[in-house]
Amino acid sequence: MKRIALASLALGVGLVAALPGIASARSDDSVAGTLVNTCDPMGNAGGIWVELWDDSGRIDSVTTDAEGDYAFVDRAPGSYVVKPYIGAGCGAFPGTRAVDTTNGPVYDVDFRVTTVHDITGAVTGCPQPEGVGAPGVTVNVSDDSGLLATTETDDFGFYFFQWLEAKTDYTVEVVAPAGCGADDPTRSVDLDLGDANRVDFQLVPQYTGSFQSVFSGFAFGS
């Protein structure tokens, strides 16, 4: 009877000792999250490379498990940036996430992995002759959430926006330089089915004043 009582006591102590470990199984995770992959036809979110950065540079890297979960463990409290690296044709949204573990671990650093496409085009004309590429012209792309990216045309007037989520309702806007304008400075773009190429703009000179004011000092006969 005494042996049975001792055995029961030992079992109880063992269970109690195990409970803290069960309750705090993730207590050493400083930063953790999940990637949901809609870019893969099968939804496979395993094996995706994720990096952890601080002000000194990259300090750690892991890969997601079969469920898309990842964790960086035993990191000192502080500020970090998490960056997933995705294969060609796919992209992570957001591309990076800043986290602060000063007040404790952060477990919801999640990302979506989706199909991505590109927007390319050219800006020609003013201040160059008609049909000639205009370098250094600002071009913006936005969606319903606001401005996404800004770029400038290259030496030949071409511009390029890369790795945009495959969806509709993008707007590309050209910002004409002083003295120039565009009859249609914005273009609606749909990336739901693929890249958008030749999203082009033609700039023309803009003259101040009116035609009438230029000739106001002249008297025209009948």
User: 82, 109, 136 — which closes off a domain?
Assistant: 109
The rounded distance, in Å, linking the Cα atoms of 126 and 134 is: 7
User: Among all chains, which residue has been given the structure tokens 């996430």?
Assistant: 97
The rounded distance, in Å, linking the Cα atoms of 189 and 144 is: 12
User: 85, 109, 133 — which closes off a domain?
Assistant: 109
The rounded distance, in Å, linking the Cα atoms of 98 and 80 is: 6
- Answer yes or no: is 211 within a domain: no
Q: Is the pLDDT of residue 91 over 50?
A: yes
- Answer yes or no: is 23 within a domain: no
User: Among all chains, which residue has been given the structure tokens 């060609």?
Assistant: 88
Range with lowest mean pLDDT among 24-33, 123-132, 187-196: 24-33
199 contacts 187 by C-beta, under 8 angstroms: yes
Residues 77 and 40 in one domain: yes
The rounded distance, in Å, linking the Cα atoms of 166 and 118 is: 9
| Residue 109 CA: distances (Å) to CA of 11, 87, 116, 158, 161 | 39, 20, 21, 36, 26
Please compute the mean of the pLDDT values over residues 200-208 and round it to a whole number.
91
For position 210, what pLDDT does the model report? Answer: 53
Residues 127 and 197 in one domain: yes
For position 22, what pLDDT does the model report? Answer: 34
Residues 149 and 70 in one domain: no
Of 214, 199, 120, 105, nearest in space to 160 by CA: 120
Of 109, 121, 104, nearest in space to 182 by CA: 121
The count of domains in the chain is 2
- Answer yes or no: is 14 within a domain: no
Q: Is the pLDDT of residue 12 over 50?
A: no
Range with lowest mean pLDDT among 82-91, 109-118, 135-144: 82-91
For position 130, what pLDDT does the model report? Answer: 94
Of 60, 45, 52, nearest in space to 90 by CA: 45
User: 77, 109, 141 — which closes off a domain?
Assistant: 109
Q: Considering the chain, what is the average pLDDT of its residues?
A: 86
- Residue 199 is part of a domain; what is its CATH number? 2.60.40.10
For position 87, what pLDDT does the model report? Answer: 83
- Answer yes or no: is 47 within a domain: yes
For position 88, what pLDDT does the model report? Answer: 84
Residues 87 and 130 in one domain: no
- Answer yes or no: is 3 within a domain: no
Residues 103 and 124 in one domain: no
**Domain span at 183:** 116-205
- The single-letter code of the amino acid at 108 is D
For position 183, what pLDDT does the model report? Answer: 87
Q: Is the pLDDT of residue 136 over 80?
A: yes
SS3 (DSSP) at 185:
coil
Percent of the chain with pLDDT over 70: 80
Band (13; pLDDT cuts 50, 70, 90): very low
Name the more confident of 210 and 117. 117
Name the more confident of 149 and 215. 149
Strand runs (DSSP E) across 26-169, as ranges? 29-37, 49-54, 57-63, 69-73, 79-85, 90-93, 97-100, 111-125, 138-143, 146-152, 158-165
45 contacts 15 by C-beta, under 8 angstroms: no
